[in-house]
Amino acid sequence: MSWYKNSKESQPAAVTFDRVVALLEKLEFNFQTLEGSVAIAAYFEGIPTMLVVEDANLVVRASTVGMQPAEAEYVTLLKWANQWNFDAVFGTAVIDKAEGQPQLLVDTAFLTAEGMDDDQLEQAVMIGIAHGVQAVQKYMEDFEIPALSA
């Protein structure tokens, strides 16, 4: 069913933490819910990813936590993120230096105040994961960053 069509069998419902957890279980993904949080942690194709449901938003965030480029200058990383954002359809890449070492964060956000039916929720989660993983893999390739060991 298209994202813009609602059938009587599939009406939009609030996007909740529990619905996202149930979806990930249905899809048989390995993940961990973070205690006392609205966040879910997972690895998709070796890429650290968080799914957060809060304030009528669903955010899928892929990152390079634990994987930094060896010798790239901060401004070079910023230019990479800017180019990615120029070319990308989904996902916003930012370089975060809060932990001292620059890391790439790729957020794909969905406003969910009006709710989503099950198909829409699944599509949103899969789009967020796919675009986040794609961006991080390209970043790792461009800056010759080795993957995390399992």
* Confidence bin at 147 (pLDDT 50/70/90): confident
Residues 141 and 139: their CA atoms lie apart, in Å, by 5
User: Which pLDDT score is estimated for 137?
Assistant: 95
pLDDT tens-digit map of 32-49: 999 888 899 999 999 999
Q: How confident is the model at residue 9 (pLDDT cuts 50, 70, 90)?
A: low
Write the DSSP string, 40-93: EEEEETTEEEEEEEETTEEEEEEE-TT---SS--HHHHHHHHHHHHHH-SS-EE
Question: Is residue 150 over pLDDT 60?
Answer: no
Query: Could you tell me what percent of the chain has a pLDDT over 90?
Result: 69
Confidence of residue 15 (pLDDT cuts 50, 70, 90): very high
pLDDT at 148: 72
Mean pLDDT of the chain: 89
Residue with tokens 């901060």: 74
CATH fold label, 37-142? Yope Regulator; Chain: A, (3.30.1460)
Is pLDDT at 7 greater than 70 in this prediction? no
Longest dimension (CA), the chain: 56
Quick check: 133 pLDDT over 70? yes
Over range 8-28, report the average pLDDT: 91
Inform me whether the pLDDT recorded for 83 exceeds 90.
yes
